[in-house]
Amino acid sequence: MDQTNYSVVVDERVVVKWLTPPAPLPHPTPDILAHLVEAGFKDTAPPYAVLTGVVDGREHLLALVTGYLPDARDGWEWCVDDAVAGSTAFATELGRLAADLHLALSTLPHPAPSAPPPSAGPALPGGPAASPTSSDSGRTPAEARAAGDAAAATTAPAERAEDTRPDQAFAERAEEALGEALAVTEGEDGAWLAGRADAMRRELASLAAPMTTPLIRIHGDLHVGQILKWRDGYAVIDFDGNPTVTDADPRQPAARDVAQLTTSLEHVAQVAIKRRGTPPDRAAAWAREARAALLAAYRARLAERHRSDLLDERLIRPFEVEQECRELIYAARHLPRWRYAPMGVLRTWYPEETPAPDAGAPPADAAPHPTDTPAPHPAGTLAGDGAPHPTDTPAPRLTGAPAGDVAPFPTETPGEEPAPRAADDPSRHCAEKPEENIA
């Protein structure tokens, strides 16, 4: 299994996620988690502290300490169960959760372009003006959120020119993803994909239009595997972004996250077909119903908060197409047996009867790409990053941790035991796919 981080559950109360390797500072996750606390967003594993230290002469983020969510299972488990059962009751809650996340992230202060990056570890969140959660104007995230909510109804899009992206960056990124997906997808699947490339390009073309929706700090890797279902509801985890996309602007249209979440529902349907024997027509109907319910709840939540401007629905489809290209790239680079999922989705979107631009391309079988069945997920391993990889060096205990600065988050009260909420392992990385976790 892919092992991107190493998480240790301590006394079923906290989870220590050790970054392997440590990440140089500045790193976005501590700022995002601190801001979510200030913004009142509670649908995540509660952050308690960050551990930093000097590595090779530079300050690095070594570990994140979060709460433990009892009975947590990630979406590659619970959502597949729902797909097999034909239940879409979860979709409304996920739409609401995604909207609340974006409402909170939309108030994350945009760092001043001229501000130099910090040279030391993160300050105590909510502390002095140097705190990573403070804006350059000295406002706290809570104050920024209040100001943003008040301004939303009165600020015209033209007055938020700094939050628009009227250039070709998104279209170029999507076209590059399609080109790479075509290059790395071989055999019958590759021939089929080449025959649908022009149709996919037509859908990506709308990304070239000027962006009129606000650009916000998004999750960046929002799929059902990042949504834990635990004893008290649902929680989103892993704010490290998408490591398979280099140099991506962290400020993107909210539709990017929405498209990643909706395509992951399609992937769940493909897993249910392949791994659980669900009839394809029934799985496809489930995905359509779940997607519609999720989007309806998302729209309703934004409207309730007078922030419908956060979602440009015209961007969802092209971002979905781009996401499937990235899934094919991921499969080619890291997990070839995962290819059946994006190929199954694309075959659903572009059925066989669609005329192929390349008349010479051989016909492709509509069945998902055959793959080897991996061993079942070992019983008793963590729900996120899972058991340590055999080559991993065991992480030191929290007591006697490496020298560095431990910065508690504002949810931690000195002398108080952390509340017993949180994930079996709130560190699932987008590199993990259901093939490693579903028997």
Question: Above 50 in pLDDT, residue 55?
Answer: yes
Residue whose structure tokens are 């979860």: 90
Residue whose structure tokens are 């796919």: 433
- What mean pLDDT is reported for the chain? 76
d(CA 37, CA 169): 32
Strand-pairing partners, residue 227, are 236
Q: What is the pLDDT of residues 86-103, one digit of tens each?
A: 999 999 999 999 999 999
Question: Above 80 in pLDDT, residue 13?
Answer: yes
Q: Which has more confidence, 42 or 381? A: 42
Query: What tokens were used for 423?
Result: 């994930």
DSSP 8-state secondary structure symbol assigned to residue 135: -
Least confident of 57-66, 122-131, 177-186: 122-131
- Give the pLDDT of residue 334: 92
Residues 6+ apart with CB under 8 A from 92: 293, 294, 296, 297
Question: Above 90 in pLDDT, residue 199?
Answer: yes
Contact call for residues 204 and 243 (beta carbons, < 8 A): no
Q: What is the pLDDT of residues 280-320, one digit of tens each?
A: 999 999 999 999 999 999 999 999 999 999 999 999 999 99
- Give the pLDDT of residue 87: 98
- Give the pLDDT of residue 161: 36
- Give the pLDDT of residue 434: 55
d(CA 172, CA 322): 11
Contact call for residues 254 and 216 (beta carbons, < 8 A): yes
- CA separation, residue 230 to residues 70, 73, 380, 433 (Å): 6, 6, 16, 19
Contact call for residues 411 and 45 (beta carbons, < 8 A): no
Query: What tokens were used for 31?
Result: 């700022």
